[in-house]
Structure 1
Amino acid sequence: MRKHCDIERREINGQPLYWLAPKTGASSLHIFYLHGGGYAFNIMSLHWHFIKKMIRKTGASVTVPIYPLAPENKWDTSYAMVMEAFEQTVARHGVENIVVMGDSAGGGFSLGLAQMLRNQGKPLPRQLVLLSPYLDQTAADPMQLDLEKTDVLISVEGLRRLGTWWLREGEDPAMFPASPLFEPVDRLPPMLVFAGSDEMLLADALRLKKKGDESGAEIELKVYDRMQHVWMLLPIPEAKKALNEIVAFLGAPTNRS
């Protein structure tokens, strides 16, 4: 990363916040990236490799907040840190240049952040990109029982356990923003959503798309056949195709290596 990018590290209440910018060929595009991991696991090398690919493909600069993790921290603590990180990013890059992007729990976080900004009457990012988003802490969709049979990473029990870690005792797992799927999705930026046909969180993506269609939201859903959870981050041809579709959605140049 350091070979190709200038990297700046700051902290918000003791939590790291990274700004990355390409050393050459920088564009005005800025990606605010929220990593996955069930809100309980830290950022991984796969995330950094994906971020590096996005930078090389688009010339974008990137903000990566390392938010407080469950179970030691709950949703409100993490959202407070991410909101502060986003406002600092807006001040630095301009909200009109920012795309909020995230995978798995980071995808849920991305949607929840945009909804929270809308609810508070604050300026919104220009676009959202959600990769296998984790949007519902209840794990109560009947479809997920069938999808569990083909999902090699996630189980219904696992989702519900992660939900109990993310929430405070006695809180409703369907509450906002812990489960952004149940909050209105109108008046949000255009969204590009990816899911795999063999992953449990396909159910979340399908319900998000249905909710968006009913409310007039601009949501494009791409479901890849026989793909697993967050396959977009893996070194496989389908991930390369998804990356090119993301670049096209962002309106970024596509002639980069």
Structure 2
Amino acid sequence: MAGEIHVEEGPFGPEVRPVGAAVERTVLYLHGDPRLAGTPQDAVPTARELARHTGYAVVCARYRLHFPEALEDVYAAWEHCRDRGPAAVAGKRLGGGLAAGLLLRLRDEGATPPSCAVLSSPVLDFTLGASSLLLNAAADRTLDAEALPVRAAAYAGTTPRSQPLLSPLHGNLHGLPPIQLHAAGTEMLLDDTLSLATRAAHSGVEVDMRIYEDSSAQGLRQLEATAAFLRTWCSTALVTPQRT
């Protein structure tokens, strides 16, 4: 899909939408970077491409960089998107972990879930016990192995590290919507993605996992797969009643 894309500041962050199209679906996009930081404006280039490839509106939510305040901000942004009609959630790095935490919270509350979720190199376990943190430390040039524990501690604060809304890998994954996962085979957080995919599939969740040879290949090939996944499941949501 191609066309002009409009960006404006919305109540929860930048909102990106195709110009001149009847937008019936929304993607809540949660930014993230290797420093477990970033801003919603950092996500706008990706949101532009998602809007162009799907024809959907994309809300780049702002959130505070502490837990649980970050999840509260994301929850409020989700309610804003959900009120517009069928909506999905996507996130990268810390945003991917927040997206997964949002799925667990909505499931536990019996609330309407996203049509689907896309998690890109997500941070899913703040206990930082994954073997890939050591095995891929030399190969992963996107993360600072020494700084990661410090940044993780600053974000988690006093929350127990295995609390499922903070570390979704420690939660019950039954009843979640379809999930697409993306990661590079060389990244330090690879095991977070692999473990979630395995546990979610065993819990009956529809899982589409994409592992790329490195971060460059991921950057080149992820967008089209993400757009196709969103189009498939958001379109299904228009004709299939949502679970409540």
Fold match by TM threshold 0.5: yes
Partners of 2:62 and 2:154 in 1: how far apart?
18
Partners of 2:97 and 2:53 in 1: how far apart?
24
Partners of 2:5 and 2:38 in 1: how far apart?
27
Structure 1 residue identity aligned to 2:27 = I
- Residue 163 of structure 2, aligned match among 175, 196, 201: 175
Partners of 2:219 and 2:72 in 1: how far apart?
32
Partners of 1:201 and 1:43 in 2: how far apart?
22
Aligned to 1:186: 174
Shift of 1:39: 4.1
CA deviation vs aligned residue, 1:77-126 (integer Å, no higher than 9, x gap) = 121121111112212x12xx211001111111111101111011111010
Aligned to 2:81: 89
Structure 1 residue identity aligned to 2:231 = G
Shift of 1:41: 3.0
Structure 2 residue identity aligned to 1:165 = A
- Residue 38 of structure 2, aligned match among 38, 41, 65: 41
1:166 touches 1:178 (CA, 8 Å); kept in 2? no
Shift of 1:204: 0.5
* Cα pair distance change 1:211/1:149, threshold 3 Å: same
Partners of 1:76 and 1:101 in 2: how far apart?
19
1:108 touches 1:134 (CA, 8 Å); kept in 2? yes
Partners of 1:146 and 1:17 in 2: how far apart?
37
Identity across the alignment (%)? 27
RMSD, aligned α-carbons: 1.9
Structure 2 residue identity aligned to 1:29 = R
Aligned length: 228
Aligned to 2:117: 128
Runs of 5+ consecutive residues of structure 1 not aligned to the other structure = 11-15, 232-236, 253-257
CA deviation vs aligned residue, 1:41-79 (integer Å, no higher than 9, x gap) = 32454x21111111111111111211112xxxx211121
CA deviation vs aligned residue, 1:164-223 (integer Å, no higher than 9, x gap) = 111223x32121211111111110110110000110111100111111122222111110
Q: Secondary structure at the match of 1:33?
A: strand
Structure 1 residue identity aligned to 2:62 = I
Partners of 1:139 and 1:156 in 2: how far apart?
11
Partners of 1:166 and 1:203 in 2: how far apart?
20
Runs of 5+ consecutive residues of structure 2 not aligned to the other structure = 233-244
* Cα pair distance change 1:8/1:154, threshold 3 Å: closer
Partners of 1:36 and 1:162 in 2: how far apart?
13
User: What is the 5 A alignment of 1:5-154?
Assistant: 5-10=6-11, 16-37=12-33, 38-43=35-40, 45=42, 47-69=43-65, 74-91=66-83, 93-94=84-85, 97-154=86-143
Aligned to 1:249: 229
| TM-score normalised over the length of structure 1 | 0.82
Structure 1 residue identity aligned to 2:169 = L
Partners of 1:155 and 1:6 in 2: how far apart?
33
Partners of 1:213 and 1:8 in 2: how far apart?
37
* Cα pair distance change 1:6/1:210, threshold 3 Å: closer
Partners of 2:185 and 2:201 in 1: how far apart?
20
* Cα pair distance change 1:238/1:208, threshold 3 Å: closer
1:30 touches 1:60 (CA, 8 Å); kept in 2? yes
Q: Secondary structure at the match of 1:157?
A: coil
